[in-house]
Amino acid sequence: MTHALTDGWVIARAYLLHWVRNPAAILSQLLYPIVMVLLFGYVFGSAMAVAGTDGDYREYLMPGMFGQTMAVGVTSTLITMTTQVSRGVTDRYRSMPVSQTGVVLGRALSDMVSSALELAVLIACGVAVGWRWHNGPTAALAAVGLLLLLRFSLIWVGIFAGLKLTPEAAGASWMLMLPLTMVANTFVSPAQMPGWLGFLAEWNPLSATVAACRRLFGNPGFAGESWAAEHALLLAVAWPVAITLVFLPLSARAYRRLSR
Amino acid sequence: MNSYSLVAEGLTKRFGDAAALDGFDLAVREGTVCGLLGPNGAGKTTAVRVMTTLLRADGGRATVAGFDVAAQPAQVRRVIGLASQEPAVDEILTGRENLVMWGRLYHLDARRARRRADELLEQFGLAEAADKRIKHYSGGMRRRLDLAATFIQAPRVLFLDEPTTGLDPRNRTEVWQAVRTMVADGCTVLLTTQYLDEADQLADQIAVLRGGRVIADDTPDRLKSSIGGDQLDLVLRDARDLPEACDVLAAFGPPAADPDTRRLTAPVTDRMHALGEVMRALAAKGIEVEDVALRRPTLDEVFLKVTA
């Protein structure tokens, strides 16, 4: 147990070195959200009218982009995990006196650092296109905290799925993640969707985080009629905690089951 | 008499309907190299995974350096090294960084990890490439780095799963040299391979594995003599000479003839002597030979003999 922290740090450091040494990968990872901001902010945004936003779509959009980027981040956890299993790295860890908790901590730490960096770039990008936070730095930091909390809970989903899937399936997980992040309040208000879809969108964990962020940043469009929309702050904490409580033990179990 | 570093008794493991291990028995003496020889799907990797604590057997037991793999996995992990079929090295890091990282994970402090990395880079002939990233390494260099990583904590038992699969002959020789270095340090090695000559080159003991169980287990010399040592291949100029050439070869071992390729094959024990005698006898009879070769028996020929 004493080794968990030091082993975790050694592993996280190696992952972060990957990041630093692979400029093309960082660039595409950081460019993607920027392109999305430009695409939705200016191309689609010109045709978007979201109820209660007074026509300023970019103010509405940015918290959605932050949330989506955190949610889609699960694919990078997933892909790294499947690659490590298939390339025998996981086997080497398991045949060594390494703290297995440390291996997971290292993974989580490096994912959180890279996600935080991604979020910082996206916030800067938002400021550049005219998005602002209006309720002071404390509320803004609380919103950033909620976004990172969502990302943290998804690490366990990524690890669990990564232990179950092949690298090919992991690569295709994008196709599932993108629509999942759109059936939410990220780009449009669930109130504008057909009833059943709107219901799903209201209760999407991502919607809770995004609605809570809009409220904390003072951006328009957080108001809603439903219970989920009214209790967004509560749900933005409850959902990630629930996801962690389910998927952390599942990941540990899947890891143990590698020896079956 | 050395004691045994590795003992497996009646290991079984099923994946669904297929039995990967079906009563696997093996005993390897301390400080020796055992070659586990078998074709794809014979259960070599499964056996290695059970003995390295990666996989739990359904039945039977195994001990490594005296520790039970099922009951004392943590102790086992402290005394073994494992090189899987795919080198588990980190492409983005340099050779030195890889070894320092793995060294830290074996809980050496930063200074000792660096010192150990330098020693190993020297020992495995990678000192010049130490600061190059692995993606610029050749297949053989990658394997050697992977072997060096397994050697960080000076393991008492080393498991090498097909260490030369997919390598060209030069890289293969380099990896063999690296394995010999490790053995010279007194480590017990279990090496899986599909090639008899590889086992012959490196091993003190060869266990032939088929269908998840060991069907022959002996020293390379005794195993080879039981399967008739080397094989002598002859290709004749004229297929009509085959019967007469068969008679010549029959003095050394039962020959097999293939009229389509004008090829004759016979097992021989004293290879150079046999070669000389056969060539002289054929020349005396005026039989023209197009090609001649001495080679180790293939895995197929070993199995035919061992199961006969």
Q: Say how far apart CA A146 and CA A234 lie, in whole Å.
A: 11
* Placement of tokens 């082993």 in the chain: A7
* Domain region containing B292: 227-296
- Chain center to CA of A20: 21
d(CA A98, CA A92): 9
Domain assignments of chain A as residue spans, ordered by start: 23-256
**B-chain residues near A95 (CB < 8 A):** 52-54, 77, 80, 82
* Bridge pairing between strands B230-236 and B263-268: antiparallel
In a domain, B234, yes or no: yes
Could B106 and A260 be called an inter-chain contact, meaning their C-beta atoms sit closer than 8 Å?
no
A208-225: pLDDT as tens digits:
999 999 999 999 876 667
Are the C-beta atoms of A203 and A230 separated by less than 8 Å?
no
Cα of A4 to nearest chain B Cα, Å: 10
Name residues whose C-beta falls within 8 Å of residue B17's C-beta, 6 or more positions apart in sequence. none
H-helix or E-strand spanning residue B214: strand B213-218
Tokens representing A201?
A: 């969108």
Q: Helix, strand, or coil here: B207?
A: strand
The CATH number covering residue B239 comes to: 3.30.70.100
Pairing outcome for strands B59-64 and B4-15: antiparallel
Contact A96 B77 (CB under 8 A): yes
* Comparison of pLDDT for A15 and B121, the residue scoring more: B121
- pTM (predicted TM-score): 0.83
Which residues neighbour B142 within 8 Å (Cβ) at sequence distance 6 or greater? B87, B89, B134
> Residue B110's domain is classified under what CATH number?
3.40.50.300
Sign of CA dihedral B301, B302, B303, B307: positive
> Do B187 and B65 share a structural domain?
yes
For chain B, percent of residues with pLDDT exceeding 90: 52
pLDDT at B10: 96
Contact list, B104 vs chain A (CB under 8 Å): 6-7, 10
Of the candidates A57, A148, A160, which has an alpha carbon nearest to the alpha carbon of residue A104? A160
Tens of pLDDT, residue by residue over A19-44, are: 888 888 778 878 888 888 888 888 88
Residue pLDDT, tens place only, A117-148: 899 999 999 999 989 999 999 999 999 999 99
Are B212 and B62 contacting, i.e. CB atoms less than 8 angstroms apart?
A: no
Of A18, A88, A97, the CB nearest to B74: A97
Closest to A26 (Cα-Cα) out of A72, A61, A76? A76
How would you label B83-112 residue by residue, b for 16+ Cβ within 10 Å and e otherwise?
bbbbbbbbbbbbbbbbbbbbbbbbbbeeee
CB-side exposure of B52: number of CA atoms within 13 Å?
29
Torsion of CA A24, A25, A28, A30, to 10 degrees: -110
**DSSP assigned state of A257:** G
Q: In this structure, are B44 and B120 located in the same domain?
A: yes
Q: At B76, is the pLDDT very low, low, confident or very high (cuts 50, 70, 90)?
A: very high
Find, among B66, B52, B57, B78, the residue nearest to B7 by Cα: B66
Picking from B52, B55, B92, the nearest residue to A17 by CB comes out as B92
Output b/e per residue, B56-77; b: 16+ Cβ within 10 A. Answer: ebeebebbbbebebbeebebbb
pLDDT reported for residue B96: 96
Classify burial at A166, counting beta carbons within 10 Å of its beta carbon; exposed 0-12, middle 13-18, buried 19 or more: exposed
Testing the interface with B: which of A6, A87, A95 to mutate, by most B Cβ within 10 A?
A95
Q: Is residue B166 part of a domain?
A: yes
Which residues of chain A does B107 touch, with a Cβ-Cβ cutoff of 8 Å?
3, 6-7, 97
Q: What pLDDT, on the 0 to 100 scale, is given for residue B253?
A: 80
pLDDT (tens digit per residue) in A45-75: 777 777 666 668 889 999 999 999 999 999 9
CB B262 within 8 A of CB B239: yes
Tally of CA atoms within 13 A in the half-sphere of B13 that contains its CB: 28
Residues 6+ apart with CB under 8 A from B68: B61, B62, B76
Looking at residue B1, its pLDDT comes to: 46
B139-157 mean pLDDT: 91
SS3 B259: coil
Task: Give the list of residues 6+ apart from residue A257 with CB closer than 8 angstroms, or none.
Answer: none
pLDDT in tens, B149-190: 999 988 999 999 999 888 888 888 888 888 888 888 889 999
Euclidean distance between CA atoms B166 and B164, whole angstroms: 6
Q: For B151-237, where are the alpha helices, taking DSSP H only? A: 169-184, 196-202, 220-226
Say if the Cβ atoms of A10 and B104 lie within 8 Å: yes
How many domains are there within chain B?
2
Residue B24 has a pLDDT of 96
Residue B197 sits in the same domain as residue B84: yes
Q: Does A3 touch chain B (CB under 8 A)?
A: yes
Give ipTM to 2 decimals. Answer: 0.82
Report residue A36 as tokens. 């999305």
Q: Do B140 and B263 lie in a common domain?
A: no
Q: In degrees to the nearest 10, what's the CA dihedral of B59, B65, B71, B74?
A: -130
| Structure confidence at residue A224 (pLDDT) | 67
Give A71-111 pLDDT, tens digit per residue.
999 998 999 899 888 888 899 999 999 988 899 899 999 99
Indicate if B247 and B158 belong to the same structural domain.
no
Residues of chain A with C-beta less than 8 angstroms from the C-beta of B84: 88, 91-92
Q: Does A259 touch chain B (CB under 8 A)?
A: yes
- B106 with A88: Cβ contact below 8 A: no
Selected residue of A18, A96, A260 to mutate for chain B interface (largest B Cβ count, 10 A): A96
Q: Please indicate whether residue A178 or residue A154 has the higher confidence score (pLDDT).
A: A154
pLDDT of residue B64: 97
Q: Which of the four pLDDT bands, split at 50, 70 and 90, describes residue A1?
A: low
Task: Tell me the pLDDT tens digit for each residue of B190-245.
Answer: 999 988 888 888 999 999 999 999 999 999 888 877 776 788 899 999 888 888 88
Q: Can you give the pLDDT at residue B307?
A: 67
- Mean pLDDT computed over B134-155: 91
State whether B268 and B182 are in the same domain: no
DSSP string, A55-118: T-HHHHHHHHHHHHHHHHTHHHHHHHHHHHHHTTHHHHHHTTT--HHHHHHHHHHHHHHHHHHH
State whether residue B284 sits within 8 Å of chain A by CB.
no
Whether B302 is covered by a domain: the verdict is: no
Token pair 């990172």: residue = A148
Q: Which of B218, B235, B261 is the last residue of a domain?
A: B218
Chain B positions in Cβ-Cβ contact with residue A259 (cut-off 8 Å) = 53-56
For chain B, give the percent of residues with pLDDT over 70.
98
Joined tokens for residue A166: 């092949």
Answer yes or no: do B105 and B138 share one domain: yes
Q: Are residue B149 and residue B37 in the same domain, yes or no?
A: yes
Q: B55 with B100, same domain?
A: yes
Among residues B182, B197, B218, which one ends one of the domains?
A: B218
| Distance of alpha carbon B84 from alpha carbon B159, whole angstroms | 8
